[in-house]
Structure 1
Amino acid sequence: MSEAFQNFCTLLERVVAHQASDLHLAEGRAACWRLHGNLAAMDDVAWTQTRLDELLGELLGAQQGRDLAEKGTVDLGFTARSGERFRINVFRSLGRPALVARHLPSRFLSFNELRLPESVRQLASLSDGLVLVTGITGSGKSTTLATIINEINASLPVHILSIEDPVEFVHTPNQAIISHRELYTDVPDFASAVKASLREDPDVILVGELRDTETMRAALTAAETGHLVFSTLHTADTSGAIERFIGGFPGDEQSVVRHRLSLVLKAVVAQQLLPQNGRPGRVAAVEVLQVTPAVSNLIASGRTAQIYSAIESGREAGMQTFDQALAALARDNLIALEDGRRLARDPNGFERLMRQGRSGA
């Protein structure tokens, strides 16, 4: 074990001990961590190209090394000496290697701990269809999905099949049977893995990310054939996820895909992590779209611009807008009122929500 690898493992231990989320390493720069949402240097020792090359020589397997050389980026899972798990992305910046290691929680957080709405918990009881969890990178999508999968594992005798790049959360079978399949280690790509999964008797399929058209097509087919499919997209809101999915197909297919999606989509959860008010840590603001018959009709007819209004009026169906989530967090003093105002999509509507909350309406 090289000195560079030992230093890397020590840095990971510090990340865990201080509850940081990410470790950043790059040539000519000291190690940095993201602590409660903010980046800061961990020390003043710059990493050299030689040290990084030594580290990557031990960290990457032969195929991963080839992928980095050919594609300029590679993802992998890593278990530290303490047993803590990390998702690592190695990439090139101006021809030089760099990496980001994200700490994955060692235990599955509850819905209450994540402050997820009850309607998100209820997604674990669905029997079929497609559920999308969306948000920017680092918004907690994987953690939310892990909590939902953990709920299914604890309560239902089903076969859960996860396809990820890399496997982030390792579930121990409880009531369910769980099969983890990792890209490049177990399967060549998402699309072929999803297609093959239909011959592996799954009840629930977790697709780590809908990266391309073939994966979207396979996930849609799996949902249509009676499976419950969970996956993620990188969009900011729920209606954007629907358009992103449909837009992933060629133009001549989109009208058919729009109709198919309207029949199988069950819910979209969009989330963003915000700094807590006056305390360390972050909290999720969550927008929830439940696909009711009315929403299904909006999707099928291409009227996704009207979906936000449907969410605003869909409280009884378990829906909430991003602004409604912000107002609830601000009223509970979990985020600063100024942050709520700044992030609200409709500042005037946010103020009305705050007044309604104070008046008990």
Structure 2
Amino acid sequence: MDAKTLNQILEIAFQKKVSDVHFEVDNPPFFRGKGQIIRSRLPLLTGKDTEFIVNTILEFNGKTLDKNLHEIDTSYSLPNGGRFRVSIFRQRGHFGMVMRVIPPYISTFEELNLPDVLAEIVKSPTGLILVTGPTGNGKSTTLAAMMRYLTETFTYNIITIEDPIEFLFTSNKSCIIQREIGIDTESYDKALKSALRMDPDVIMVGELRDKETIDSCMKASETGHLVLSTLHTQGAVSTIHRIIGNFPPESQEIVRQRLADVLVATISLRLVKDKTGDNILP
């Protein structure tokens, strides 16, 4: 394995329009396309191959490989601009990774076959908007489309806090600041507290992972900002239960009232195959 071979494999992902690339020892690279895992005909990967890939990705991000590394989320870009969200992990003593393809183009609601009501939802000047659904069902892509609409429609100061940064946004009518956990800031909680001092109109948080992040997002919503984020849940009702369940029992009633005051919408996504079976639509 060398850098040229790695980039050629990743370029195949863009050419074939797959969503993920899997690298694991004693297997060839796997691709996920149209919701299905596809085993490639490439050579089997060795421990040295996957360690080389990890080193390449970490060096791209200005980091070195720590022997105590067990898992990390980061990103990687091809020379031609193609981007990936990367999840690195250890399994059976070797490194493995899953690389999520990030489309180079941020699509509109219409291009993604998303309902027009999303444009009405993001017009809310304050509050909390959540995009939810299982992994791989288009939460990040939908959130990116919403961000595009905001930048093209309003004159806002928008701050994104992500782990890692996925879509790269360009300031249009709005000014956009993108911060990455581990590179630009230490944690979601600290970044959110800092964001409130950066004259924000809109704050986009990549994911609500813990109680501290949820609480900080609600506080930002309560202080007159529009906050957008994602959550891994199965539906609108389970989203409410998941948020409240992060807090101790004695705090849950207050949290329920706070959430009722700030929640603008919960957008629950599922991808399904069309009648031909060749395409996946929300």
The equivalent residue for 2:123 is 125
CA-to-partner distance for each residue in 1:5-62, whole Å, 9 max, x for gaps? 2211101111101111111000000011011111111214100001111221221146
Residue of 43, 53, 56 corresponding to 2:54:
56
SS in 1 for 2:111: helix
Q: Which runs of 5+ in 2 are unaligned?
A: none
Q: 1:336 maps to what in 2?
A: none
Query: Larger radius of gyration, structure 1 or 2?
Result: 1
Tell whether the 8 Å contact from 1:87 to 1:103 is kept in structure 2 after alignment.
yes
SS in 2 for 1:133: strand
Q: In the aligned structure 1, how far is the partner of 2:121 from the partner of 2:16?
A: 33
Separation of aligned partners in 2, 1:115 and 1:212: 31
Structure with higher RCO (Cα < 8 A, 6+ apart): 2
SS of the equivalent of 2:254 reads helix
RMSD: 1.4
The equivalent residue for 1:15 is: 13
- Verify: 1:195 aligned to 2:201, yes or no: no
Tell me, what secondary structure is at the counterpart of 1:60? helix
- Choose which of 217, 220, 230 in structure 1 pairs with 2:218: 220
Q: Could you tell me which amino acid in structure 2 is paired with residue 65 of structure 1?
A: L
Secondary structure, aligned partner of 2:29? strand
Task: Check the 8 A contact 1:123/1:148 in 2, yes or no.
Answer: no
CA distance in 2, matches of 1:113, 1:209: 24
Q: Tell me the distance in 1 between the aligned counterparts of 2:204 and 2:258.
A: 19
For residue 69 of structure 1, what is the aligned residue in structure 2? 68
Contact preservation (8 Å) 1:141, 1:232: yes
Mapped to 2, the partners of 1:44 and 1:180 lie a distance apart of: 37
Who is 2:174 aligned against? 176
- Output the CA distance in 2 between the equivalents of 1:160 and 1:60: 28
SS of 2:270 mapped into structure 1: strand
Q: TM (normalized to structure 1)? A: 0.75
Deviations 1:135-190 (A, max 9, x none): 11111000000000000000111101000000001101000000000000001111
Q: Secondary structure at the match of 1:100?
A: strand
Within 5 Å, which residues of 2 pair with 1:278-297? Answer: 278-284=276-282
Q: Report the Cα distance in structure 2 between the residues aligned to 1:251 and 1:65, rounded to whole angstroms.
A: 41
CA distance in 2, matches of 1:214, 1:54: 36
| Aligned match of 1:138 | 136
C-alpha distance 23-198 of structure 1, shift in aligned 2 (>3 A): same
TM-score, scaled relative to structure 2 = 0.96
Distance 2:210 2:93 in 1: 26
Partner SS state of residue 238, structure 2? helix
Q: CA deviation at 1:223?
A: 0.2
Aligned residue number for residue 287 of structure 1? none
Distance, in Å, in 1 between the alignment partners of 2:64 and 2:37 is 28
Structure 1 unaligned blocks of 5 or more? 285-361
> Greater helix percent: which structure?
1
Q: How far 1:94 sits from its partner (Å)?
A: 2.2
Residue 111 of structure 1 deviates from its aligned partner by: 0.8
Question: What is the CA-CA distance between 1:126 and the residue it aligns to?
Answer: 1.1
**Which among 155, 160, 163 is matched to residue 158 of structure 2?**
160
**Deviation, structure 1 residue 88:** 0.9
Q: Distance in 1 between matches of 2:58 and 2:72?
A: 9
- What are the within-5 Å matches in structure 2 for residues 39-54 of structure 1? 39-54=37-52
Deviation string, structure 1 residues 64-118 (Cα, Å, up to 9, x no partner): 734x834x21111111122111111111112221111111111111111212112
| Equivalent residues of 2:108, 2:148 under 8 A apart | no
In structure 1, distance between residues paired with 2:184 and 2:38 = 36
Tell me the distance in 1 between the aligned counterparts of 2:148 and 2:226: 15
Distance (whole Å) between structure 2 residues aligned to residue 184 and residue 245 of structure 1:
25
**After the TM superposition, which parts of structure 1 deviate over 3 Å for at least 4 consecutive aligned residues?**
61-66
CA contact (8 A) 2:57 2:75 kept: no
Distance 2:278 2:76 in 1: 26
Secondary structure in 1 matching 2:266: strand
| 96, 99, 104: which one aligns with 2:97 | 99
Counterpart contact for 1:137–1:234, Cα < 8 Å: yes
Contact between 2:28 and 2:42, CA under 8 Å: does it hold in 1?
A: yes
- Is the CA contact (8 Å cut-off) linking 1:274 and 1:283 kept in structure 2? yes
Q: Does residue 237 of structure 2 align to residue 239 of structure 1?
A: yes
Matched with 2:253 is 255
Provide the rounded CA distance (Å) in 2 between the counterparts of 1:139 and 1:15. 18
CA distance in 2, matches of 1:7, 1:270: 38
- The letter of the residue matching 1:219 is C
Q: Paired residue for 1:266?
A: 264
SS at match of 1:168: coil
Aligned partner of 1:36 in structure 2 is 34
The alpha-carbon deviation at position 120 of structure 1 amounts to: 1.3
Shift of 1:63: 4.7
Cα–Cα, structure 1 residues 225 and 101, in superposed 2: closer, same or farther, change >3 Å? same
